[in-house]
């Protein structure tokens, strides 16, 4: 499975630079590497922000059902 993912990533990042510069260009490897780094960065950011999305969803839904517990507990003013 890891080989399949690596081959897919290589195919994607080789296709895009091929549209910009010829494959025999000395800069092709550099551009392909930069596209690969951007693609990997996009995946890492998507995974890293997933807990943030669930926290915002939790805050928008009104927090927990028991208002006296949890880190997002509402404060009641008398």
Q: Is residue 11 part of a domain?
A: yes
| Entry field: residues in the chain | 78
Residue 40 lies in a domain: yes
Q: Is residue 32 part of a domain?
A: yes
Q: How far apart are CA 25 and CA 77, in angstroms?
A: 68
Provide the residue range defining the domain that includes 32. Answer: 2-46
Give the DSSP letter of residue 74: P
8 lies in a domain? yes
- Statement: the pTM of the whole predicted model exceeds 0.95: no
CB count in 10 Å sphere of residue 63 = 15
Per-residue pLDDT of the chain (78 residues; tens, 9 = 90+): 778 888 887 787 778 777 888 888 888 888 888 888 888 888 888 888 777 777 777 777 765 555 455 555 555 555
């Amino acid at each position: 499975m890891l080989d399949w993912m690596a081959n897919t990533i290589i195919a994607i990042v080789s296709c895009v630079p091929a549209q910009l510069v010829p494959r025999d260009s000395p800069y092709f490897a550099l551009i392909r590497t930069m596209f690969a780094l951007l693609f990997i960065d996009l995946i890492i950011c998507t995974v890293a922000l997933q807990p943030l999305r669930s926290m915002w969803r939790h805050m928008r839904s009104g927090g927990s059902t028991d208002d006296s517990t949890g880190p997002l507990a509402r404060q009641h003013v008398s």
